[in-house]
Amino acid sequence: MNGTTMTRGYVIIWAWLLLLMTLSLFASTLPVSRAAIVTLMFVVAAVKAVLVALHFMHLKLEQWLIYAIAILPVLLVLGLMVALFPDFVLAR
């Protein structure tokens, strides 16, 4: 792999991350509902996380096992959160 092109790729990702960060900072000034703003923020956060994982952590170059190790716990956390809803959110 050519070192210089890789480096340029990293700079681009970095620029994207900073852009997205700025976007989420100013999202609260958008003239839309609060729920939409919060949703937007977490979509942006997820995109940032995926960018870091795929490019900085080289997940896009890894074999399926590493993917599985990375994705399984994320699914489990989401499952845990869903299962906690009835007791702590819906009960209110």
Partner 1 sequence: MTMTATAPHEHHEAAGFFRTYLYSTDHKMIAKQYLLLGLIMAVVGGFLSYAMRWQLAWPDTEVPGFGFVGPETFNVLVTNHGTIMVFFVAMPILLGSFGNFLIPLMIGARDMAFPRLNALSFWLLALGSTVLCVSFFVPGGAAPAGWTGYPPLSAKAEYTGVNWGLNLWLLAHAIEFAAFLLGGVNFLTTVVTMRAPGMTMGRLPLVIWQQVAAATLFLLSVGPLIAGAVMLLMDRLVGTGFFIPERGGEPLLWQHLFWFFGHPEVYVVLLPALGAALEVYPVFSRKPVFGYRWIIWATICAGALSFIVWAHHMFVSGMDPRLAMPFSITTILISVPFALTVFAMVASLYRGSISFELPMLWGLGFLAMFTTGGLTGIFLGSAPADIYLNSTYFVVAHFHYTLISAVIFGGYAGIYYWFPKMFGRMLGTRLGQLHFWSTLVFFNLTFFPLHWIGIAGMVRRIANPLQYEMVAPHQWINVFSTLSLLGLVASQLVFFLNFFLSQFRGRPAPANPWNATTLEWTAPSPPPHGNWGASMPAVERWPYEYSAPGADRDWVGQRAPTVEALLRGEGRA
Partner 2 sequence: MTTMAHAPTHLSEAASRSKVAIWWFLASEIMLFGGLIASFVISRLGGGAQVDHSQLNVLVAAVNTFILLSSSYTMVEAFACAARGDRRGMRMFLAFTVLGGLAFLGIKAYEYTGEILHGFTPWAGTFWSFYYTMTGLHALHVAIGVIANAALCVGARLGTERPYRVEVAGLYWHFVDIVWIFLFPLVYLS
Q: Residues interacting with partner 1, by CB under 8 A?
A: 65, 72-73, 76, 79-80, 83-84, 86-88, 90-91
Nearer to partner 1, 31 or 86 (CB): 86
- The item of partner 1, partner 2, none sharing an interface with residue 74, based on CB under 5 to 8 Å by kind, is partner 2
In the bound complex, what is the minimum distance in angstroms from residue 10's beta carbon to partner 1? 22
**Residue-by-residue DSSP string for 66-89:** HHHHHHHHHHHHHHHHHHHHIIII
By CB under 8 A, is residue 19 in contact with partner 2?
Answer: no
Q: Are 15 and 22 in contact (CB under 8 A)?
A: no
